[in-house]
């Protein structure tokens, strides 16, 4: 009787262990840099592979905590993306060393992986394909936008008159207000860089050149205007 009881307990233990493995079959990597930005939920992305193949259809959550510091834990649920990538957002208290516990579930089975990761402070306001957009970029594009508006005003005064001129100048005044909006500038920079990246990926050099043409034309117009005034 005792022997049967022990066998039953071993069977239950084996079933529990089968349903909660150590995740040795899954390889978990942080696929995009995780960084700290004050009071901001930042992107967190991992990639899960099994025998060098992307794994789809997983339910994944992660728990982040600072190593050797008591700042609590930070939970994040990850949504499935493409090619075995799972993404979410997490708001961290500071940069430093973190322990990341990743829980993976599929078909009633659970696996866990633990990663050590050093989170660095954000080097800018946004990141595109691993490259930061910083405040200097925003200031530069703000200057270019203002100079372009000055050129457009001069052109409008030469081309239009009366109500049509007033309408054009009113539109340019509205455009000038948007140049002071950092979010609008950031969106513009992201759009330009995304176009350039797409062109490079597809090998479309002509499209890449076109994405840079407005900026090139603006700089050329500024140089010509300065030369005329001198």
Average pLDDT by consecutive 10-residue portion of the chain (230 residues)?
50 46 73 90 93 92 91 93 90 95 93 94 79 84 87 91 92 86 82 76 57 55 51
Residues 56 and 135 in one domain: no
Domain boundary among 64, 89, 122: 122
pLDDT at 18: 45
Question: Can you give the pLDDT at residue 103?
Answer: 96
**In 3-state terms, what secondary structure has residue 28?**
strand
Of 100, 122, 144, the residue that ends a domain is 122
Give the number of domains in the chain. Answer: 2
φ/ψ of 81, rounded to 5, equals -110, -130
Question: Is residue 117 located within the same domain as residue 187?
Answer: no
Same domain as 134, residue 101: no
Task: Identify the pLDDT of residue 219.
Answer: 56
Decide: 48 and 86 in contact? Cβ < 8 Å: yes
52: domain range?
21-122
Q: Which two tokens mark 19?
A: 């349903």
Q: Phi and psi of 17, rounded to 5°? A: -65, -35
pLDDT at residue 80, as a whole number: 95
Q: Rounded to an integer, what distance in angstroms lies between the CA atom of residue 32 and that of residue 46?
A: 7
């Amino acid at each position: 009787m005792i022997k049967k009881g022990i066998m039953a307990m071993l069977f239950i233990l084996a079933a529990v262990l089968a349903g909660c493995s150590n995740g040795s079959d899954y390889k978990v990597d942080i696929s995009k840099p995780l960084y700290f930005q004050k009071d901001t939920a930042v992107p967190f992305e991992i990639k899960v592979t099994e025998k060098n193949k992307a794994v789809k259809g997983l339910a994944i959550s992660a728990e982040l905590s600072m190593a050797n510091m008591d700042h609590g834990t930070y939970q994040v649920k990850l949504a499935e993306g493409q090619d075995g990538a799972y993404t979410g957002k997490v708001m961290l208290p500071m940069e430093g060393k973190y322990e990341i516990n990743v829980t993976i579930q599929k078909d009633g089975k659970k696996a866990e992986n633990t990663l050590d990761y050093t989170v660095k402070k954000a080097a800018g306001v946004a990141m595109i394909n691993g490259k930061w957009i910083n405040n200097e970029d925003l200031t530069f594009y703000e200057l270019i936008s203002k100079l372009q508006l000055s050129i457009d005003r001069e052109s409008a005064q030469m081309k239009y008159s009366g109500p049509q001129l007033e309408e054009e100048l009113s539109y340019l005044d509205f455009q000038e207000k948007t140049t002071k909006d950092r979010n609008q500038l950031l969106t513009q920079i992201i759009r330009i860089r995304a176009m350039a990246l797409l062109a490079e990926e597809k090998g479309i050099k002509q499209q890449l050149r076109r994405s840079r043409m407005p900026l090139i034309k603006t700089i050329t117009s500024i140089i010509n205007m300065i030369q005329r005034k001198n």
